[in-house]
Structure 1
């Protein structure tokens, strides 16, 4: 097994390698940070399917589901294996660590690596639920962020874009130079053109989520009272033009409309529920690609400090609501709101004031830059407390064995 000393090498917010030990410790830290359940889950536990389980809120859903609800079942993600030249993706190593957590907790989780949009993956998951988990699924969490999707029926590949709708958007964003010095820049993003909106909705809307439900229902695998949640985001008025009012926002609106359709259907067929869960802001590999989000997150952290709610705490709340440990609370649009701490008037006013004052010269006094830099590095297993980054580390970590 090869061992290497790994140091962070990056292009902007994208890193070329991931640190296996750091990724593993990050999962362990997430487990420790997740609140203990009021009562220890007993028995085999409910059967869950989490799509997008290796990163961001999907990873938080997996860890919180293990600890709060004692889930077993199938986890799906799409990650790259280590090679002779490169480490595996961070999600590869996080998945290996999550599998270790599940074994230590005595829970049977199967981790599949592949295209969640494909019917082949849907068949593989359905077979596992049927043959290994008693033929009944209790929960499905959908947390997929992807640049493209191929429709299994037509073979057409759609590509998502991050663009405003109607007019170009000019916003501030935060970047770091090669020496790590912060810079506040003005960036302009051109408006959606042609079928940009339709393409983005086809990738990031509710079509694939509904296809999963159709596929599993068609195999008779949805248990009585089955519940499903798709993870979403609304965000601040400061980022609305490029996000909630842009092409991605159109996709999120489609996701929420899909939830209402599915909720009505599931209620009639299995006494079930379908909701979207609107999460609060977090540093993720997806969020750092959105213009303005890096600046917003740094400012938000400076305003809130430790009151910023981490994803695993938010998902612990979602699991409590889905399992009935606490009441399911929905807004007027039928959404679970886990973002209320972020969007209060006083928090948004404080962030907006700092946003207006932000320049390259002033940003260090307005945003929590040290926290933001470290959070970005931790996405790839770097800057994790307790890890000796001068020591060689094994990179050829195998994918969890699906036969155990």
Structure 2
């Protein structure tokens, strides 16, 4: 029996199961929120989205199909449903994305595997050659992972969330029995090779390896463009993020973009850049101390002016395809986070941060929105879904041969 009633069981920001119907509805809602272009795209460029099942990578896939008319390949690493557990939320979101792509007459293959491995790189290269005309126009890199195995050496690198130099003490938001509580937590500084390990996972090494692999197979189209999705964030969280181990990895990612940009310019008159996105509730971000509190307070300041990942990635595709002007900062980055980092927005958020206590947090942050967004990551709290009804859990992975 693969139909059952699925309840949101878990602890804190983690849930044991996901809801297939809720995940499908979330993808549909994201699709509908992406504006239809004034004119249909003149062609269907071929794109590869690495990390296509969640967060900004999912938004990149949906916005690319709807705004830019892309076809191509999406890669993610998800768990299939079993007799005891549902599939991961990304499994069900991928099935929903494949359905929407088919309805939009966009040819897509979704692959489930380790994006860090050379075996998957070779599989993708074969698909581009055999199914997509042998030329790739765009590659969007959106990978967040706890570890990476180096294909050359077999070394396993593990990323950590730590400040650099000194311990980091911050307010953080937790929920005990559904009740919000503000606590202070301390994270010890990076030691040993923590920075190098995190950079090996979250920096630009794998992105560059993808480009090298595809270039060696002569699969990059003239004018090929690649973008890696990144984040800078607020001064309120800088010590644990931009100035911490993850920030070191992001700096490496941006340095890789500059190296790749020069290389691609000479090779195919192409370009490489990073896209700095604004804050969002993701499974990765909720694990970072202080981020949950910050995002809840930011939403309290901005309300509906907070721009969703789908809205941001629609803007990115417009810039990448030339529908609008490509605007880069002094570091050569697309900035989709200006709404978040505006001086007045940060000042108001910082003021609320200083005032935040367990007693006051419900008046300073939009906690209903935040907790709803966390639950929606797993397909719960989605309008229009009847959670009292049994849901089919044995949703198959999209068949790459159809």
TM-score, normalised on structure 2? Answer: 0.99
Cα deviation, 1:166-215, whole Å, max 9, x if unaligned, reads 0000000001012x100000000000000000000000000000000000
Cα deviation, 1:264-290, whole Å, max 9, x if unaligned, reads 110111000100000000000000000
* 1:146 partnered with 2:145: yes
Partner of 1:31: 31
Partner of 1:52: 51
Partner of 1:301: 299
For the aligned residues, what is the CA RMSD? Answer: 0.6
* 1:131 partnered with 2:115: no
Cα deviation, 1:51-79, whole Å, max 9, x if unaligned, reads 00000000000000010011101100000
The 3-state SS of whatever aligns with 2:339 is coil
Trace 1:332-371 onto structure 2 (pairs within 5 A).
Answer: 332-371=330-369
Aligned-partner Cα distance in 2 for 1:40–1:322: 16
Structure 1 residue aligned with 2:198, among 197, 200, 203?
200
Aligned-partner Cα distance in 1 for 2:41–2:334: 23
The 3-state SS of whatever aligns with 2:340 is coil
Aligned-partner Cα distance in 1 for 2:372–2:362: 15
Partner of 2:280: 282
TM superposition shift of 1:228:
0.2
* 1:190 partnered with 2:162: no
TM superposition shift of 1:41:
2.3
The 3-state SS of whatever aligns with 1:68 is helix
Aligned-partner Cα distance in 1 for 2:235–2:257: 24
Aligned-partner Cα distance in 1 for 2:35–2:165: 44
Partner of 1:14: 14
Partner of 2:105: 106
Aligned-partner Cα distance in 1 for 2:38–2:226: 23
Structure 2 residue aligned with 1:214, among 204, 212, 215?
212
The 3-state SS of whatever aligns with 1:144 is coil
Cα deviation, 1:123-165, whole Å, max 9, x if unaligned, reads 0000000000000000000000000000000000000000000
The 3-state SS of whatever aligns with 1:59 is helix
* TM superposition outliers: structure 1 runs of 4+ over 6 Å: none
Q: Please list every run of 5 or more consecutive structure 1 residues that lacks an aligned counterpart in the other structure.
A: none
Partner of 1:325: 323
Q: Please list every run of 5 or more consecutive structure 2 residues that lacks an aligned counterpart in the other structure.
A: none
TM-score, normalised on structure 1? Answer: 0.99
Aligned-partner Cα distance in 1 for 2:37–2:309: 16
Cα deviation, 1:242-278, whole Å, max 9, x if unaligned, reads 0000000000000000000000110111000100000
TM superposition shift of 1:327:
1.1
Once the two structures are overlaid, the 10-residue window that deviates more, 31-40 or 136-145, is: 31-40
Structure 1 residue aligned with 2:398, among 379, 397, 400?
400
Number of aligned residue pairs: give it.
Answer: 402
Partner of 2:71: 72
Aligned-partner Cα distance in 2 for 1:39–1:233: 31
Aligned-partner Cα distance in 2 for 1:31–1:42: 20
